[in-house]
Amino acid sequence: MGLSEIIKEHIVWRHQIFKLAKSDLIKTYSGAALGWAWAVIKPSVTIFVFWFAFSTGLRDRAGIENFPFFLWLVAGIISWFYIQEMIMQGASAMRKNRHLVTKMKFPISTIPTFVSLSKMVVHLVLLVAIVVIYCIAGYFPTVYYIQLLWYLVTMFIFCVGWCLFASMLGAISQDFVNLVKAFTTALFWMSGIMFDIHKIDKPWAQLIFKLNPITYTVEGYRNCFVYQKWFWEEPKLLAVYLVEMLIMWVLALWIYRKLRKDIPDVL
């Protein structure tokens, strides 16, 4: 089964995918009084903590290119909230939806898609909140905000590919799921979220950061909000990211063809 068959399954089951995305979002926060609002509250608390820290105890922290450090930080960290969810929950997506795999005739290739869609809804709400924060601070939307669509779409495609790859391995081995969770914090610090990677004085270290696909999205959001640069102004980084996305999907399709028949028996 190749990419064409997966695309066909998505077209045929498109209505069910959106319904399951809504169900996944509701199910994640069911049982709580505030419901799915917790999806927004959790990252909002993190953002508030950073704001408090950098406006009081760390107020002497210099800005980035005469830009307030807090605003620079939230422009990058907003994408991390979505990516983090996809890294961790993507690896266990098949296990959490085993009823669709074992008890229904449902195309398992669509599971990563509706999981990613449910997380994307939360991300869009947070993105609107960040725009409001920028407006309150006196930084109003510019024409560069248009390319947010580019970063949203490419980030979504990349994360769906990761989820397909990781969820298949995660269904086979719980150790893989635990390994992914263990490395998530390391990825946070290796993605240039908390510091400006352009100020790293070691060229080889800066290169490692730039080759990180998460860094591409983090810097991309900052291109929209802070640096006001178009995504095509750095063609080499764009080419590297697209190649990494292609490799991610090649691996995802390969592991999917290898394991798809074994997943129902394992789960």
Average pLDDT over residues 85-96: 87
In this predicted structure, the answer to whether residue 172 has a pLDDT above a threshold of 90 is no
48 burial type by CB count under 10 A (0-12 exposed, 13-18 middle, 19+ buried): exposed
What is the tens place of the pLDDT at every residue in 221-243?
A: 999 999 999 999 999 999 999 99
Mean pLDDT along residues 250-255: 92
In angstroms, the Cα distances linking 164 to 39, 75, 202 are: 23, 28, 35
Query: For 202-227, how does the pLDDT look when each residue is reduced to its tens digit (9 = 90+)?
Result: 888 888 888 899 999 999 999 999 99
Helix axes 148-172, 69-91, angle to 10 degrees: 30
pLDDT in tens, 5-55: 788 878 887 788 888 887 877 776 665 445 556 666 666 666 666 665 555
Q: Partners of 180 in the beta sheet?
A: none
Instruction: Report domain extents, the chain.
Output: 3-266
* Ranges 120-124, 145-149, 161-165: which has the least confidence: 120-124
- pTM, full prediction: 0.85
Output the six-digit token pair for 76: 């990058």
20-24, 136-140, 173-177: segment of lowest average pLDDT = 20-24
Kindly state the tokens that stand for 48: 């508030």
Mark residue 50 as left, alpha or beta (left: phi above 0; alpha: psi -120 to 50; beta: remaining).
alpha
As a whole number, the mean pLDDT across the chain is 83
In this structure, how many other beta carbons lie within 10 angstroms of the beta carbon of residue 124? 12
Q: Is 115 exposed, middle or buried (0-12, 13-18, 19+ CB in 10 A)?
A: buried
Q: Which residue has the tokens 């490395």?
A: 183
Helix, strand and coil percent figures for the chain, each rounded to 5: 80, 0, 20
